[in-house]
Amino acid sequence: MREHADVALWDVARLPRPSRVTGLTMAGFRAHETTPVALRLIPHPAVTLALVFGAGLVTADAATGRWQRGSLVAGLGFGAVPVRRTENFACVQVRLSPVVARAVLGVCPADLGGAVVTLDDLWGREASRITERLADASSWEERLALTDALLARRREAGSPVDPEVAWAWRRIVVSHGLVRVDRLAAELGWSRKRLWSRFHSQIGLPPKRAAKLVRFDHAAHRLAAGQDAARVAADGGYTDQSHLHRDVVAFTGVTPATVADEPFLAIDDIAWPAPGHLVRHGTTEPEGLLQPHR
């Protein structure tokens, strides 16, 4: 169990099987501490959906400067977001590949603009009904299965992105953000301008910015694993360690040394293991299907 002096311990649960929606992962979080805690969400190459249920609340500092409350959606490539959670906080956090985010959410990632918005703004009354059902559920297994089924139905009814755009996104992810945009365009038989326009309108970021985000995410996780910053920079396609430093600060507002120990990045290492595991961080809520993380 990883612990931080400034962060609560968490119960973390995950589906024991891959989601019914390709490109979707989720985990359930329950904080142990009963006092409010301030955290910072670190950008991730996915659209993030937080379904907050029960008595606890979470607020996030949106790009507009207004604090958003309740269930939230963070657009692709959002800046580091200060988050405050109250006591008894619990949520199902979903990460949506931008390839499926439009179909699931009913809004294009580009329309989110990297901002944090309330789910009520997107789904209206349906958002409240979902969180009420999560609160009434008797186990994490039930909550996660319920969420997965709901999002699968929305995915089936939604509009997919162009297959060429989906292919380009996958190439960026597989390469850890190191593939060149002109090479992607050439392999597709598109001009750079056409790739930029289609990709940006459907994914939510220009391809070069998307590659930069994926590269940062890979580097941040290597830093959190305790790897040397100079080695991370060299292997990650950065010109030098200073280049890595500038990118990390640009995405998070803090240095590489600080981001490596961010609470949510630490939880991330536990909450998103390979499919087929349902893990637990902490010991508060007895669940027969939860197994200790090792």
Q: State the CATH number of the domain containing residue 240.
A: 1.10.10.60
Q: Note whether residue 5 is domain-resident.
A: no
**Contact call for residues 145 and 138 (beta carbons, < 8 A):** no
Query: What tokens does 19 get?
Result: 């989601």
**78 in the same domain as 151:** yes
Compare 57 and 219 and report the one with higher pLDDT. 219
Q: Which domain holds residue 220?
A: 163-259
Separation of first and last alpha carbons in the chain:
8
What pLDDT shows up at residue 115? Answer: 77
**188 in the same domain as 250:** yes
Report residue 48: phi and psi, to 5°. -105, 130
**266 in the same domain as 228:** no
**268 in the same domain as 244:** no
**Contact call for residues 195 and 168 (beta carbons, < 8 A):** yes
What is the C-alpha separation between 209 and 212, in angstroms, rounded?
5
Torsion of CA 181, 185, 191, 197, to 10 degrees: -70
What is the C-alpha separation between 168 and 148, in angstroms, rounded?
26
Q: Note whether residue 3 is domain-resident.
A: no
**249 in the same domain as 115:** no
> pLDDT band at 9, cuts 50/70/90?
low
Residue in 28, 10, 16, 272 with CA at minimum distance from that of residue 131? 28
**133 in the same domain as 107:** yes
Q: What is the mean predicted confidence (pLDDT) over 24-35?
A: 79
Compare 271 and 136 and report the one with higher pLDDT. 136
**170 in the same domain as 232:** yes
Q: Among the listed ranges 64-73, 184-193, 255-264, 267-276, which one has the minimum average pLDDT value?
A: 267-276
pLDDT score of 83 more than 70: no
Q: Note whether residue 4 is domain-resident.
A: no
> pLDDT band at 173, cuts 50/70/90?
very high
Q: Note whether residue 1 is domain-resident.
A: no
**238 in the same domain as 120:** no
**176 in the same domain as 140:** no
Query: What tokens does 196 get?
Result: 């930029």
Q: Note whether residue 19 is domain-resident.
A: yes
Mean pLDDT taken over the chain? 81
**127 in the same domain as 29:** yes
DSSP state of 262: -
b/e per residue, 92-101, with b = 16+ CB within 10 A? bbbbbbbbbb
**277 in the same domain as 253:** no
The secondary element (H helix, E strand) that includes residue 255 is: none
Query: What tokens does 156 get?
Result: 């089936």
List pLDDT tens digits, range 107-142. Answer: 888 888 777 888 988 899 999 999 999 999 999 999
Residue in 47, 142, 60 with CA at minimum distance from that of residue 101? 47
DSSP state of 14: -
pLDDT score of 190 more than 60: yes
Domain total for the chain? 2
**Contact call for residues 20 and 148 (beta carbons, < 8 A):** yes
Q: State the CATH number of the domain containing residue 278.
A: 2.60.120
**145 in the same domain as 21:** yes
Q: Cα 270–275–278 angle (5° rounding)? A: 55
